[in-house]
Chains A and B, each alone.
Chain A
Amino acid sequence: MTDLDATRVRPVIRKELRDYRRKRSIVVTMAVLPAIFLIQPTLSIFLVPASTASGRYLSLPLLLLLLIPVMLPSTLAAYSVVGEREQGTLEPLLTTPIRTQEFILGKGAAVMIPTLVLSYAVFGIFLAVARLFANPVVASDLFHQGPVLLTLFLFTPLLAGWAIVVGMAVSVRASEVRVAQQLGTVASIPPLGVVVLLGVGVIHPTFTVAILFAIGLLVIDLRALRIVSRMFDRERLVTGSKAGRPDRSEPHAG
């Protein structure tokens, strides 16, 4: 990731966010999915009897909220490149001076921003509802789930990052939008596994585990981002054919 020019990343982000806002189906999906994932954890804290309230009962509903950053960005990321290709906007875009990394970064950030805003907003709503309306004992226990809350805070961008990078990798290679979105959803299963393992207690969320897992995810996300940039083959995206190597036996281009 060298020679990145933020001034070329910003227009991509701005355009994408503008485009999302104007597409009703994207807005509705973005609003509905977090709302659905908010229902079960909220009900849980009202259904847990105060006498049995403990970390074991409260960590699962909290960790379920991590499904939002996993599920929400996958379809948007999967659409990002192949969608442009299908609507015929990719070629004009690639004739501008934007670098591959800038394009990937802009597209990724445009998915990440609403994902983070919505995910953290849902967490905030959940905690606020618990504080205001749940049994004070349950609410108190909830706010004492330090490692789980840290996991929630740290994992949200990292899991979203995974879903976005994998979704974009699929989008760069897919031949059409439907295939990309299906594969993008499938690709979000591994982080779901992490969430499930945390939720059912196979991996016990402690501060150390949370931080180590977060570092691991960060490394994976950054490497995956580089891989996606390398997978981005302008020639293949424009013509459908893989870029050929110049003949070295002959004077080559340039």
Chain B
Amino acid sequence: MVDGDAVRGADPVAAADGPGDERDPPRSPGGRAEITDASASTHAGRQPALVVTRLTKRFGERTAFSEVSFEVAHGEVFGFLGPNGAGKTTIVRTLGTLIVATSGSAVVAGIPLSPENGVEIRQRISVMPESPGLYLRLTVTENLEYFAGLYGLHKAGARIRDALEAVNLTDRAGDLCGGLSKGLRQRVGLARTLLSDPVIMFLDEPTSGLDPVAAREVHNLIGRLRQKGVTIFLTTHRLEEAEKLCDRVAILNTTLRTIGRPGDLREQLFERALVVKTVAPLTDPDALFGGVSAVDSWRPEGATSYVLAASDPGAAAPEVTRALVGAGADVLAIGEAQHSLEDVYLELVAEDVEARAR
């Protein structure tokens, strides 16, 4: 496992998108703030676990991903989000040395990514593909013994026991994998990734196809690994999963659309705003909200709901409340607009869809 001194949730240093990268960061149509967080230096100044610089992969004419740059700090849980076909799995395969990048560079667990370094890199990482890929006629333990052997781990009994314990499968160690449910197989796959004490774990859609209970078990396991300081690169299209588990997330749709902490992304991508809900439509909202100095602009959202742009919603709320009461409006609620990671994701992906349509 990663050293215990690894800094979790390290403050990302606002920097350009990778060394020497002069690309314009993604900018939304409304001129929203630039998203420039690609750095993952730790407080201790330790080398990042993963450095990806302008990495591109093309299959003939088709581009799987293009000019992708980011860094992942040691001990960080880094989420990689994107719609189907965005290039998430191809990035994992590229960083896992299964496929060769067309251009760009990467340093994985301290080793430059190249076919020559494949064995050394694979020795330091573990990858769980979307499908756990177990030998169904072998038992759980036999599957793990096999992979322990491939990692050159001798007398791996203790490691196998630890890995099974970590995924709560000790009592199923002797079961044939063919007899396990999908959720249990996924847990065996996770146990397999733990065997080699990897510097980085790549988990490709680890909860794909799992029911909510099984997915929660996987989340809990990732949470425990996070506490231990394991660096995790998690691809998912479950936004609530990324929000819950990840220190930072990147949204990919062939190109990297944004990167940062979920909270920062919300702030960077969306204007700060107050949401006002009234019992009945206001008679003259323009005059009412226009008279409040803390409100920059406003727009209706439905018949009885209004979104007020305000640089300081906390300061604006009392003023707005007074104005509403003064105008005789029956107020249902006033609060700061909350945007989920899903909003961020949909906003960015929708931009791509619109751009393609144009």
Q: Which residues of A contact B (CB under 8 A)?
A: 5, 7-8, 10-12, 14-15, 18-19, 22-23, 87-99, 234-235, 238-239, 241, 243-247, 250-254
* Contact in complex: B135, A15 (CB < 8 Å): yes
* Contact in complex: B137, A95 (CB < 8 Å): no
Digit string of B102-131 for contact with A (CB within 8 Å is 1, else 0)?
111110000011111101101101111101
Question: In the assembled complex, which residues on chain A have CB atoms less than 8 Å from the CB atom of B127?
Answer: 92, 95
Residue of B nearest to A96 (CB): B150
> Known interface pairs A97-B123, A234-B99. Does A239 touch B93 (Cβ–Cβ under 8 Å)?
yes
Complex: A209 Cα to B4 Cα, angstroms? 67
Say yes or no: is B83 at the interface (Cβ < 8 Å to chain A).
Answer: no
Question: In the assembled complex, which residues on chain A have CB atoms less than 8 Å from the CB atom of B97?
Answer: 95, 234
* A197 to B: closest C-beta gap in Å: 40
* Contact in complex: A238, B93 (CB < 8 Å): yes
Q: Which residues of B contact A (CB under 8 A)?
A: 53-60, 90, 93-94, 96-106, 112-117, 119-120, 122-123, 125-129, 131-138, 142, 145-152, 154, 189, 192
* Contact in complex: A92, B128 (CB < 8 Å): yes
* A25 to B: closest C-beta gap in Å: 12
Residue of A nearest to B103 (CB): A250
> Known interface pairs A239-B93, A250-B103. Does A8 touch B150 (Cβ–Cβ under 8 Å)?
yes
* Contact in complex: B114, A253 (CB < 8 Å): yes
* B206 to A: closest C-beta gap in Å: 13
* B140 to A: closest C-beta gap in Å: 14
Complex: A177 Cα to B105 Cα, angstroms? 36
> Known interface pairs A7-B152, A244-B100, A253-B114. Does A22 touch B105 (Cβ–Cβ under 8 Å)?
no
* Contact in complex: A254, B151 (CB < 8 Å): no
* Contact in complex: A92, B151 (CB < 8 Å): no
* Contact in complex: A96, B100 (CB < 8 Å): no
Question: In the assembled complex, which residues on chain A have CB atoms less than 8 Å from the CB atom of B114?
Answer: 253-254
Complex: A94 Cα to B103 Cα, angstroms? 22
* Contact in complex: B101, A19 (CB < 8 Å): no
* Contact in complex: A89, B101 (CB < 8 Å): no
Complex: A87 Cα to B132 Cα, angstroms? 10
Question: In the assembled complex, which residues on chain A have CB atoms less than 8 Å from the CB atom of B148?
Answer: 11
Question: In the assembled complex, which residues on chain A have CB atoms less than 8 Å from the CB atom of B101?
Answer: 246, 252-253
Complex: A94 Cα to B125 Cα, angstroms? 12
* Residue among B90, B146, B151 making CB contact with A97, cutoff 8 Å: B151
* Residue among B113, B136, B150 making CB contact with A98, cutoff 8 Å: B150
* Contact in complex: B150, A11 (CB < 8 Å): yes
> Known interface pairs A14-B149, A254-B114, A254-B117. Does A23 touch B137 (Cβ–Cβ under 8 Å)?
yes
Question: In the assembled complex, which residues on chain B have CB atoms less than 8 Å from the CB atom of A14?
Answer: 146, 149
Question: In the assembled complex, which residues on chain A have CB atoms less than 8 Å from the CB atom of B132?
Answer: 92
Given contacts A14-B146, A95-B125, A252-B103, 4 further A-B contacts (CB under 8 A): A15-B146, A89-B134, A247-B102, A253-B106
Residue of B nearest to A89 (CB): B133
Question: In the assembled complex, which residues on chain B have CB atoms less than 8 Å from the CB atom of A88?
Answer: 129, 131, 133
Question: In the assembled complex, which residues on chain B have CB atoms less than 8 Å from the CB atom of A247?
Answer: 56, 102-103
Residue of A nearest to B123 (CB): A97
* Residue among B53, B112, B119, B133 making CB contact with A92, cutoff 8 Å: B133
Question: In the assembled complex, which residues on chain A have CB atoms less than 8 Å from the CB atom of B154?
Answer: 7
Complex: A12 Cα to B147 Cα, angstroms? 9
* Residue among B94, B149, B189 making CB contact with A7, cutoff 8 Å: B149
* B61 to A: closest C-beta gap in Å: 11
* Contact in complex: B119, A234 (CB < 8 Å): no
Question: In the assembled complex, which residues on chain A have CB atoms less than 8 Å from the CB atom of B192?
Answer: 92
* B309 to A: closest C-beta gap in Å: 42
Complex: A8 Cα to B105 Cα, angstroms? 29
> Known interface pairs A95-B98, A97-B119, A250-B104. Does A5 touch B54 (Cβ–Cβ under 8 Å)?
no
Question: In the assembled complex, which residues on chain A have CB atoms less than 8 Å from the CB atom of B115?
Answer: 254
* B117 to A: closest C-beta gap in Å: 7
11 A-B pairs (CB sep. < 8 Å):
A7-B152, A7-B154, A15-B146, A18-B137, A18-B142, A88-B129, A88-B131, A92-B128, A95-B126, A244-B59, A254-B105
Question: In the assembled complex, which residues on chain B have CB atoms less than 8 Å from the CB atom of A8?
Answer: 149-150, 152
Question: In the assembled complex, which residues on chain A have CB atoms less than 8 Å from the CB atom of B94?
Answer: 253
* B90 to A: closest C-beta gap in Å: 8
Residue of B nearest to A10 (CB): B149
* Residue among A11, A99, A235 making CB contact with B145, cutoff 8 Å: A11
Question: In the assembled complex, which residues on chain A have CB atoms less than 8 Å from the CB atom of B119?
Answer: 97, 99
Complex: A71 Cα to B132 Cα, angstroms? 34
* Contact in complex: B131, A11 (CB < 8 Å): no
* B12 to A: closest C-beta gap in Å: 24
* Residue among B54, B96, B135, B150 making CB contact with A19, cutoff 8 Å: B135
Residue of A nearest to B116 (CB): A254
* A190 to B: closest C-beta gap in Å: 33
> Known interface pairs A15-B135, A254-B112, A254-B114. Does A95 touch B129 (Cβ–Cβ under 8 Å)?
yes
Complex: A234 Cα to B94 Cα, angstroms? 11
Question: In the assembled complex, which residues on chain B have CB atoms less than 8 Å from the CB atom of A250?
Answer: 56, 103-104
* B47 to A: closest C-beta gap in Å: 16
* B144 to A: closest C-beta gap in Å: 11
